[in-house]
Amino acid sequence: MEISWRWPNPLADMRASFLAAQPYPHIIIDNVFAPALLGRLYPDIPPPSDPAWTRWGGGRPEECKPENAKRGISAIDKLPASIAQILGQLTSAPFLQDLRTLTGAPELVTDMTLSGGGLQCSGPGAALRLHADPIRHPSPADFNQAINLILYINPHWTAEYGGELELWSRDGSTRVVSIAPLFNRIVIFQADRSSFHGHPQPNRCPDGHYRASLALYYYIPRQRRVELEQNRPIWR
């Protein structure tokens, strides 16, 4: 496989930054992919009317138009080839090995079904309520969700459009970090039941523009199977 990504700094240096970050381990990395390569994805995003979309919403009633609410496509065979290609890179063995080194988690594995992830879009007025993730793996009794990765693919996005990803304190009481969802920006963060995050402030982009990203979740196998009584988001 031809590798299309390039890290701006040695992985060991980035691991130190990742582990030291607050409110929980995370890192923001720009321009990991060639802009010309990544720029092909946004025009290929299916229209809101495409039946491949799943309407996820933002965790609370929204005032935006239905076509602007958060939606996603996890099935890679329903995605355009350009988007599937980058998802293939992000789930590949070489990328996974880099991610293990960067995060200091040698047990990380991927979920090739992209359950709950894949392509995600939302338009003007949409927001995502603050939450901690459920375990999105198809077999949550066997895996702990450990790392979330978001790659923003919206080349038109500016800071004035809002939609910042917010990382909050472990008790969900205080915003600690705001991250603009800018094109070719990767955000990698630790995922557990107190990693509160979201974009609670509505998008301010014009009609016809979308906050678009690829979302991937990486897991650590459990040493023993654990039957979960609940596996839902923890909302704040």
- Comparing CA positions, the residue from 18, 235, 5 lying closest to residue 133 is 235
Confidence at residue 137, expressed as pLDDT on a 0 to 100 scale: 86
Residue-wise pLDDT for 153-195, tens only, equals: 999 999 999 999 999 999 999 999 999 999 999 999 999 999 9
pLDDT band at 1 (very low <50, low <70, confident <90, very high): low
Residue-wise pLDDT for 138-150, tens only, equals: 787 888 999 999 9
Residue-wise pLDDT for 40-70, tens only, equals: 999 999 999 999 999 988 888 887 888 999 9
Confidence at residue 229, expressed as pLDDT on a 0 to 100 scale: 65
Residue spans per domain, the chain: 26-223
Percent of the chain with pLDDT over 90: 82
Confidence at residue 113, expressed as pLDDT on a 0 to 100 scale: 94
pLDDT band at 225 (very low <50, low <70, confident <90, very high): confident
Confidence at residue 133, expressed as pLDDT on a 0 to 100 scale: 92
Q: Kindly tell me if the per-residue pLDDT of 218 is higher than 90.
A: yes
Distance CA 127, CA 17 (A): 29
Q: Kindly tell me if the per-residue pLDDT of 226 is higher than 90.
A: no
Q: Kindly tell me if the per-residue pLDDT of 228 is higher than 80.
A: no
- Comparing CA positions, the residue from 26, 61, 17, 19 lying closest to residue 191 is 26
Confidence at residue 211, expressed as pLDDT on a 0 to 100 scale: 98
Tell me: cis bond preceding 46? Omega within 30 of 0 counts: no
Residues 124-132: what's their mean pLDDT? Answer: 95
For the chain, the average pLDDT equals 94
Q: Kindly tell me if the per-residue pLDDT of 22 is higher than 80.
A: yes
Q: At the topology level of CATH, where does 26-223 sit?
A: Jelly Rolls (2.60.120)
Pair type for strands 143-152 and 211-221: antiparallel
Residues 4-14: what's their mean pLDDT? Answer: 96
